[in-house]
Amino acid sequence: MKRYTASDVRNQSVVQLGLHPDGHTFASPEWIAAALRRGASLMCPCPKRTLVQAVTQPLRGIGAESDGIEHEIEDILEKMVAHGDLLELRDDLWAPSSRAVLHGAPPSFLMFRDMREAFVIGIAHGQRSALPDYLEKRVRYRGHLRTLPQKEGENLRAELGRLGLHELSLDVWQRSPDACQARDVVLRREQLLDSAQPSGLIPGLRILDHSRDPVNYLARWCDPGSQTGSYVARRPQTYGADRWCYVRLREGRPERLVDFPDVGSVWRGCDEAWHFQMAMDFVGGHPQRYRETMGSQDTVLIEFRSPIPSWAERRWALIGERVKGEWGFIAYQIKKARLPAENQFMREFLWLEKYVPRSV
């Protein structure tokens, strides 16, 4: 009987998840995304926490005991939900108190980059991949993303369709809202708050303080203290992650609240909350900012200091590449020729302004 070491198990797990051991390593972002897809194929529908634990627990004892691994798994899962591999849906869209659970999106694809490459999206129920071996071997993994290049003379779109994968249109995949005025967004949410029932005390409430500089997202989160006003917030719930909401306070005591997402909405609560906070910051006279840095080979880096709604990230994933930034914790590298269109998109849909360093 052969005795396997922890190193043997780690190396074998890379292969079992369909990754090439020469290009990918145990517990890398690509490995974590593949493990989450495999877990989702067997367990969904299920709560986020259940899937995270299913991937985290087997890692104990084979070289991934650090507390950071669970946070990284949670982060990559969020990116996969934003990208569309997994759908976070409430049991009942029309019941505000219903819990959100993960569902595997149907195996799908999206053609892009002048039809020379396909995004592979979704989860194959009970299987590692919806692709046959001859195509799966060609998949390029980059973090949570999977792309499949088209060979010379090949009709990749027709081949994927023949295999039963559903082609998504750009509009369906991005699902971006219509452009609107930030003031209208804030006014509508205030009207919903005016008509909400009294909330009473909310133990564990945390607010996103819009009076603090938006350049530091994490530093804006705080306890209600003695604050008076309306704030994006998160409140604990018995099961699952903290719920996003918009709350009205008087001297730190909650009076009314409305939850994100809206009843019947297809958006995630965090997407609606982040987008609404952008509107609040713009109306309040201190809009969130992005920075442009010119790169080499006709590229430009755009960086953000606060989270971005998933529909915006999908747009940039299609035309560029997510990279590690220096100024912000979200960064995309895009072609310089795309910059005018993206500047307009950020102004009209996200109410962002360009960061300009102060002169010395």
pLDDT at 1: 63
Q: Is the pLDDT of residue 113 over 80?
A: no
Task: Give the pLDDT confidence score for residue 14 in this predicted structure.
Answer: 85
CB-based burial, 69-94: b 16+ in 10 Å, e otherwise: bbebbbebbbbbbbbbbbbbebeeee
pLDDT at 213: 92
Pairing of strands 353-354, 289-294: parallel
Cβ neighbors of 171 (< 8 A, separation 6 or more) are: none
Neighbours of 197 (CB within 10 A): 8
CA distance 322 to 85: 17
Mean pLDDT, residues 185-210: 95
pLDDT value of position 64: 61
Residue 94 pLDDT > 60, yes or no?
no
pLDDT at 37: 96
- Whether the predicted pLDDT of 171 surpasses 90: no
How far, in Å, CA of 139 to CA of 119, rounded? 10
CA distances from 237 to 41, 220, 242, 327 (A): 27, 22, 6, 34
pLDDT value at residue 360: 44
Cα Dmax for the chain: 70
Mean pLDDT, range 190-212, rounded to an integer:
94
pLDDT at 220: 97
Peptide bond into 45 cis (omega under 30): yes
330-335, strands of its sheet edge to edge: 321-323, 330-335, 299-304, 289-294, 353-354
- The bridge status of strand 206-208 relative to strand 243-250 is unpaired
Strands of the chain, DSSP E: 86-90, 100-104, 108-112, 117-121, 140-142, 145-149, 166-167, 206-208, 221-222, 229-235, 243-250, 253-259, 289-294, 299-304, 321-323, 330-335, 353-354
Closest CA to 30 of 128, 131, 141: 141
For residue 96, pLDDT beyond 60: no
Percent of the chain with pLDDT over 90: 60
Average pLDDT over the chain reads 88
> pTM for this one?
0.80
**Tokens coding 326:** 């220096």
